[in-house]
Chains A and B, each alone.
Chain A
Amino acid sequence: EVQLLESGGGLVQPGGSLRLPCAASGFTFSSYAMSWVRQAPGKGLEWVSAISGSGGSTYYADFVKGRFTISRDNSKNTLYLQMNSLRTEDTAVYYCAKDPTRGYSGSYLDYWGQGTLVTVSS
């Protein structure tokens, strides 16, 4: 059974940093691209970032470029999102999600974690 478990969310001040891990199990982690998608309170879904199965290719939404960094440790079956220079508008539930292929192509996300809430506020 595929399981994705995010953690690391919490309250952070504007300009601060946070690192979100996502622990994966139930599938061959290195064989699949992974994505982060966020959802602001009461709002819709917004794609944030993706990484290929090998970790050699990364992709970002324009609104996080230069501030967020996606990475993965295939030996630990863990995906990460390093978030720097956080803004109030980054407040959201952050979901990690599995892509159906090794290379990222903007395709569907077949499994999602339960999400972790990040609140950026002073």
Chain B
Amino acid sequence: QSVLTQPPSVSGAPGQRVTISCTGSSSNIGAGHDVHWYQQLPGTAPKLLIYVNSNRPSGVPDRFSGSKSGTSASLAITGLQAEDEADYYCQSYDSRLSAAVFGGGTQLTVL
């Protein structure tokens, strides 16, 4: 049971828009801690996708965007491409645990 809750899977057709939610609580996202997102392609290490809620590292396409509100955050992917098929993880900090915490991950399938 992960501290941050994500849907196990989402899917979309090429060109479509999908969103992945990340729900936390008053000790993590709701406490004002930032949310970050990682993309893990099959068989590879995670890669930073979005940091501090809505910022993209250099090289990440602007098709990826992040937002945060209250105790939740979302990752949106527009113009879906086959290469976007991967697992996506949200991450924040939990004050009660004094630890970084991850969501359980969401598997994105491009139909």
Contacts and interface: CB of A to CB of B under 8 A. Distances in A.
Given A44-B2, A112-B45, A107 B34 contact: yes
A111 B45 CA distance: 10
Most buried by B among A95, A106, A111, A114: A106
A108 interface: yes
A35 B89 CA distance: 17
B111 interface: no
Contact of A47 (B34, B38, B57, B101): B101
A114 B100 contact: no
Interface residues of A, number: 23
B103 A108 contact: no
Contacts of A109: 36, 38, 46, 48, 91
A59 B47 contact: no
B91 A61 contact: no
Contacts of B99: 47, 59, 61-62, 106
A53 B10 CA distance: 38
A113 interface: yes
B45 A106 contact: no
B2 to A, nearest CB: 6
Nearest to B2: A44
Given A95-B46, A113-B45, A108 B51 contact: yes
Contacts of A73: none
Contacts of B44: 114
B36 A44 contact: no
Contacts of A105: 93
A6 to B, nearest CB: 10
Given A59-B98, A106-B99, A45 B89 contact: yes
B100 A106 contact: yes
A44 to B, nearest CB: 4
Contacts of A110: 48, 51, 57
5 shortest A-B CB distances, which residue pairs? Answer: A106-B93, A108-B36, A47-B100, A44-B105, A108-B51
12 contacts: A35-B100, A44-B103, A44-B104, A45-B89, A95-B46, A106-B99, A106-B100, A107-B36, A107-B51, A108-B36, A112-B45, A113-B45
